[in-house]
Structure 1
Amino acid sequence: MTRLWRICGALLVATGTIMGALTAHLPDAHFAEGGRVMARSAMDMQMWQGIALLVLGLGLAERTNRLFIAGGSGVLVGTLLFCAGVYNTAFTGHHGSHIAPIGGSILILSWLVLAAGWVRRS
């Protein structure tokens, strides 16, 4: 599982870099109103969570337990849902789904689960 986190973390950072370039260089017409700022926020979140997955994958490679697996997996799923929802809104202007809030909630819960895993390990 930790190998998957490292791979996905690297892919999140790579695609986050692409999104950063698009956000910086695309003409305003490609974004909904206020979309450039939204896309930049999603890219920031994607980059931080991608780096976190890399660190989790490296740091927990030999010492995983159920809480760490659930927490790390939730970070991955939450990041994908949150960023996809925000990018969709940034480019289309449609707030048609609850994907971003669900993803954000999963992220928060996942970090709490990881904290519990580290408390339990102590």
Structure 2
Amino acid sequence: MGALTAHLPDARFAEGGRAIAHNAMEVQMWHALALLALGVSLSQRPTRLIAVAGCGLLLGTLLFCGGVYYTALTGHHAAHVAPTGGSLLIISWCTLAVAWALRA
């Protein structure tokens, strides 16, 4: 998505869409790193709560970034897709914090 955001012609984006897509790409990148760290964490001492939080992070990232990419490319909002994904990300991060606190 970084290459697409950087090299796609401006005409393919809605007005201001390149910046919007760049922000979505950054969110996607940081959450990908968090998911990789969770994968390493689960390989050592897996817990169900951490696994649930990881699944929520994955689904939330897909929904949020997908909705934002759609908006960046079309100029139309994807109804409740991005807000649902964002809410799921928040809930998942909170669940992960609780899981790590219980584990410590």
| TM-score of the two chains, using structure 1 as the length reference | 0.82
1:121 matches 2:67: no
The equivalent residue for 1:76 is: 58
CA deviation map 1:54-84 (0-9, x unaligned): 1110122131222101111100000000011
- In 1, distance between residues paired with 2:60 and 2:32? 11
User: Which residue is 2:18 aligned to?
Assistant: 36
Distance 1:44 1:33 in 2: 19
- Matches of 2:9 and 2:68 in 1, distance apart? 18
Partner SS state of residue 60, structure 1: helix
Q: RMSD over aligned Cα, in angstroms?
A: 0.9
Instruction: Give the structure 1 partner of residue 69 of structure 2.
Output: 87
Q: Deviations over 1:58-111 (max 9, x none)?
A: 122131222101111100000000011000000000114110010011001101
Q: Are 1:46 and 2:28 matched, yes or no?
A: yes
TM-score (structure 2 length as normaliser): 0.95
**CA shift digits 1:30-50 (9 cap, x unpaired):** 000110011001100111101
2:66–2:82 CA contact under 8 A, matched in 1:
yes
- The one-letter code of the counterpart of 1:111 is W
The corresponding residue for 2:89 is 107
Structure 2 alignment gaps of length 5 or more: none
Corresponding residue pairs, total: 104
* Cα distance in structure 1, aligned partners of 2:4 and 2:99: 37
Are residues 1:56 and 2:56 paired?
Answer: no
